[in-house]
Structure 1
Amino acid sequence: MQLLKAAQTIVLAEQVVSYTLKLVDIPQIWQQNDLAHPDYLLNAVPKRLNEFYVGRILAQAILQQHFSCLDSITSMSERLPIWPKGFKGSISHCKNKVVVAVSVQADYLGIDIEHIVDESFAKDSAALILTQSEQALWQTGQIQGLNFREYLTLIFSLKESLYKAVYPVAQSYIDFLEAFVEQIDMENQSVQLSFCLKVREKYGLLESYQGYWKIEDGVVLSWVFQSSEPPL
């Protein structure tokens, strides 16, 4: 609960509880609490351990405080969080921040946080991240208010959020070029994302997913949220 007090609430949707926390404000939490390391973290460096445990402990605190749920989401052998039945959740971290989102009303939920990439990464990775239609959006001047590094980071982050949202269904890696922006609203910072027909049919995915974003202080926060239920 102490970790939750140090975190800040972020508003994503009425049906989602989400917090962000600066990792620099949190000391090596696993050492303080003498936490056991899962098998897949035995060789992890201290920075990775802190990211992992802060994210997991913050998620557990959200479950307990907001949903009165005491179930553990961490397995000693499975890398991904194991969310309790009826819950959807997502965790992301980058350099000095961690974000967690939890919902009992979401059909799909994914969240991602990224620092704006540098010029070198943008140049070398654009063809691996942006589909031809997404490159055309930039080349035809339809993306207003962002430079190319910000645009590339945004699309990368949105696709990461999308993959996290659909992973419980797909249970498989999907390439960046197999997902694409169908519609984008720069003013309202919202986007409609789709997968190519082959991927949709293979995994039984929806025709489209709704994504959202915020960019602040050189950081992109994106999320994908889909619910068939009205807010409580």
Structure 2
Amino acid sequence: MIPILPTCCTPLDAHWPLPFVLPDTVLLSTHFDPSQLAIDDFLRSAIAPPASIQRSVAKRQAEFLAGRVCARAALQQLEGLNFIPAIGDDRAPVWPSHISGSITHSTGRAAAIVAHKTQWRGLGMDLENLLDHDRAERLAGEILTQPEMQRMAAAERDQLAQWVTLTFSVKESLFKALYPIVQKRFYFEHAEMLEWTEGGEVRLRLLTDLSSEWCSGTELDAQFAVQDGQLLSLVSIKA
């Protein structure tokens, strides 16, 4: 039996929202409305909520459900796999051992991307609401390194909010892509956004040693897109 879509979610969207399409991946998204979450939405979509989700508010339940619906459908499309990633002890989704994947959600929108590890070793995707100028200014010191702060100061004032949102988001995506590989936590100060273009290209650099392969000074590419007041970023590590 094909699971029914939860009442709180729109039909899944296979549109690729980022500037550069990744071959051999599946990315699906949905919009969700916590106020439309029905009492039987988990049952009807055949997704068992973990205890921590059962105890949480409607917003958290809806975003969890929307993300897992996207993840299951993406795995189904990738290789016919009927699998729902559990929440690991480290709070990250637990994927099948041969799969790379990432789930993200922000206000009213959720998405998941999956691929075989033989194609993509690591995938990290993050969706954020664009910060307003005042909040971006307040958070900059927590998110940005000193060189990033200097580059931001030299940029146009009206770019500040996007700059800080983007820096936050790509560092989140970097963590999601690398943590399953290195099995070591790292934080905002351990990576630096070197440059970004209006076309959605980003260059990042590690500022700490995570393993013999992923050491300080290693540079990686990311990409991003802004739509409807939200910024989506993706870090992908080729096999």
TM-score range, shorter chain: 0.7 to 0.9
SS of aligned partner of 2:214? coil
Is 1:31 equivalent to 2:36 in the alignment? Answer: no
Retained in 1: the 8 A contact 2:103–2:110? yes
Q: CA RMSD in A?
A: 2.6
Question: What is the CA–CA distance in structure 1 between the aligned matches of 2:63 and 2:225, rounded to whole Å?
Answer: 22
Post-superposition Cα deviations, 1:113-163, rounded to whole Å, max 9, x if no partner, equal 11111233212210111112212222223x79x621111101111111111
CA-to-aligned-CA distance 1:78-110 (integer Å, 9 cap, x gap): 732111121100011011100111111211110
In structure 2, runs of 5+ residues without a counterpart are: none
Higher share in helix? 1
Change (3 A) 1:52 1:181: same
Cα displacement string for residues 200-229 of structure 1 (whole angstroms, at most 9, x for unaligned residues): 34x74261221000012211010001213x
Is the 8 Å Cα contact of residues 37 and 76 (structure 1) preserved in structure 2? no
1:10 matches 2:15: yes
Question: Number of paired residues?
Answer: 223
Q: Hey, what's the Cα distance between the residues in 2 that align with 1:50 and 1:205?
A: 36
- The 3 A distance-change label for structure 1 pair 114 and 150 is same
Would the alpha carbon gap of residues 5 and 51 (structure 1) be closer, same or farther in structure 2, given more than 3 Å must change?
A: closer
Equivalent residue runs for 1:79-90 within 5 Å: 79-90=91-102
**2:168 equivalent to 1:156:** yes
1:211 aligns with 2:222: yes
Q: What is the correspondence of 1:1-232 to structure 2 with a 5 Å cutoff?
A: 3=5, 6-11=11-16, 12-24=21-33, 27-28=36-37, 31-34=40-43, 35-74=47-86, 79-104=91-116, 105-141=119-155, 147-182=159-194, 184-196=195-207, 198-201=208-211, 204-205=213-214, 207-228=218-239
Deviates most, 119-128 or 42-51: 119-128
Aligned partners of 2:42, 2:99: CA distance in 1, in Å? Answer: 26
Decide which moves more: 166-175 or 120-129: 166-175
Deviation at 1:30, TM superposition (A): 6.6
With over 3 angstroms needed to count, the CA separation of the structure-2 counterparts of 1:194 and 1:178, relative to structure 1, is same
Identify if the C-alpha distance between structure 1 residues 120 and 92 changes in structure 2 by more than 3 Å, giving closer, same or farther.
Answer: same
